[in-house]
Chains A and B, each alone.
Chain A
Amino acid sequence: MSVLETTMTKPANRKPSSATRTTNSVIQAADLQHLFDALKKRGFQILGPHRRDGAIMYDEIHSVSDLPVGWTDEQEAGTYRLKRRDDMALFGYNVGPDSWKKHLHPPVVRLWHATKGEDGVQLIDDTPQPTKRAFIGVRACELNAIAIQDRVFLGDKFVDSQYATRREGVFIVAVNCGQAGATCFCASMGTGPRADKGFDLNLTEVLDTGRHYFLVEAGSPEGIAVLAEVPHITASPEQAETANRVVTETTLQMGRKLDTLGLKELLYANVDSPQWEQIAQRCLTCGNCTMVCPTCFCTTVEDVTDLSGQTAERVRKWDSCFTLGFSYIHGGSVRVSPRSRYRQWMTHKLASWQDQFDTSGCVGCGRCITWCPVGIDITEEASKMRQETSSEA
């Protein structure tokens, strides 16, 4: 079940998307810059994909020309390369090592700082003011990942103020994927490739002989308002159908599959499986998977002071359950062996997450497969486990 079909916690000032669905529109590719302009005029900082360091990363961008126009990515277990396309598609690639959690749940955040003086100790909350930001190019899997993190940070016993303030008022321009990568399996997870909720605008790129346009759906009143400032026409049935076909074809291209039936029970039942040791023979416990995963949220906290001892800060940083110190308590770490640490990550992602947050923790984006230096494939391991278990039955 898609996480968006369950409760998705949205910041208070957003109306539910279903009330504001409109008929589809079409924007010509040449007019897409007006979208950027409309957003800038409204004071949004635009974050979106661009090429940097041999990968497609999500950083501040200013115009359509900043997008990886005419580029694609080739991904496999342990491999990521950018390649030139033979067309000028704006969104002709899948996902890179960045995810939107970089901007909603940043890797390093100062939570508060304190000073010690004659008046005693003063504590200053460093939760920043919300700012206006627009995310361009959010894929369906990523929308689900954001919804999953909304549930973790906003929908549980304690609200994470750092996430809440960064999540507030984000304008999302989603993109339906026009191709699936070799490590993609959103279709198995029910999280894509079509985005159906949680966006302000959703684009499907159609690029074939003689035409290059975007089918646009508005998903909120804000989306409608911004769309009004971009040259567009009502989509013809043929244009809508063509865009629809693009997405349907993407669904069939998925490079990986994951059978989610009874997956939680399968993993819980396999706590003592020898397969974990087999995986551990390869796993370097490098933690790449946790860094690129759009839902992994573990952090650590460091309390630091300057040399004078007069000022102190509490800084929050991304952490990974793959580190030896992650589970340290007096007497030693609980999870010492790499076997136990890999088991923790995969069981949490696919099983315990469901008991904790009512959805799977995985959105099928395939990043963990692509960015694992030894190419460990979570879908392959799950499938192996299922076979072992049923052959024992």
Chain B
Amino acid sequence: MDGYETILAELHFLKGMEKEHLEAIADCAAYVRFQKGQFLFREGEFAHRFYMISSGKVALEIFTPGRGPVTVETIEDGEVLGWSWLFEPYRWHFDALALTDITAVGFDGLCLRGKCDANHDLGYDMVTRFSQVITARLQATRLALLDVYSSQPDMPIVSKG
């Protein structure tokens, strides 16, 4: 991807990345588009990519027996989608459905892992950035786990107190 360094530098996820590192990962990047209704990836598929969404909204779904596909999170402009390319077994854990037309910058995971192995400073930078995203998502997921809007009481009702 030539001349992409400038474009990449503007992506929120890569804010403040060194020029040298941007040049390295530009090799692994490509513009991508998806149409509304298309799947960016499916659960179980080989996770060889991650995306930085430029415009549009993606739904992360899990298929549950009985209820069908349940959306657990939506990702939109400026956000990063996918980190299963970082670690074995390199498989997607969710479905990602385009809720709108999507434009994004896609990164080849194999290429990027190679660059990180060759340049550990770049590797450290990438992992740090991903950790921040994962932490924020984990925090939000834990909050969702509390199911605060549920109508079920957490403990037996003691009436007439």
Q: Do chains A and B touch in the complex (CB under 8 A)?
A: yes
For residue A274, CB closer than 8 A to chain B, the reply is no
Interface size, B (range): under 10
Q: How far is the CA of A2 from the CA of B35 in the complex (A)?
A: 78
User: Are B161 and A328 in contact, CB atoms less than 8 angstroms apart?
Assistant: yes
From B151, B153, B155, B160, contact of A302 by CB (8 A): B160
Instruction: Kindly list chain B residues whose C-beta atoms are within 8 Å of the C-beta of A332.
Output: 153-155
Q: How far is the CA of A130 from the CA of B160 in the complex (A)?
A: 30
Q: How far is the CA of A326 from the CA of B159 in the complex (A)?
A: 9
User: Are B161 and A300 in contact, CB atoms less than 8 angstroms apart?
Assistant: yes
For residue A231, CB closer than 8 A to chain B, the reply is no
For residue A319, CB closer than 8 A to chain B, the reply is yes
CB nearest neighbor in B for A300: B161
From B153, B154, B158, contact of A325 by CB (8 A): B158
As a 0/1 sequence over residues 325 to 356 of chain A, the CB contacts with chain B under 8 angstroms (1 = contact) are 11110111100100000000000000000000
User: Are B160 and A300 in contact, CB atoms less than 8 angstroms apart?
Assistant: yes
For residue A324, CB closer than 8 A to chain B, the reply is yes
Q: How many A-B residue pairs have CB under 8 A?
A: 28
User: Are B160 and A325 in contact, CB atoms less than 8 angstroms apart?
Assistant: yes
Instruction: Kindly list chain B residues whose C-beta atoms are within 8 Å of the C-beta of A302.
Output: 160
From A325, A330, A331, A336, contact of B161 by CB (8 A): A325
Q: How far is the CA of A323 from the CA of B161 in the complex (A)?
A: 7
Q: How far is the CA of A256 from the CA of B154 in the complex (A)?
A: 43
CB nearest neighbor in B for A323: B161
In chain B, residues 122-161, which have Cβ atoms closer than 8 Å to a Cβ of chain A? 151, 153-155, 157-161
As a 0/1 sequence over residues 277 to 311 of chain A, the CB contacts with chain B under 8 angstroms (1 = contact) are 00000000000000000000000101000000000
Instruction: Kindly list chain B residues whose C-beta atoms are within 8 Å of the C-beta of A324.
Output: 158, 161
CB nearest neighbor in A for B155: A332
Q: Which of B153, B155, B157, B161 gathers most chain A CB within 10 Å?
A: B161
Instruction: Kindly list chain A residues whose C-beta atoms are within 8 Å of the C-beta of B155.
Output: 331-333, 336
User: Are B153 and A326 in contact, CB atoms less than 8 angstroms apart?
Assistant: no
Instruction: Kindly list chain B residues whose C-beta atoms are within 8 Å of the C-beta of A327.
Output: 161
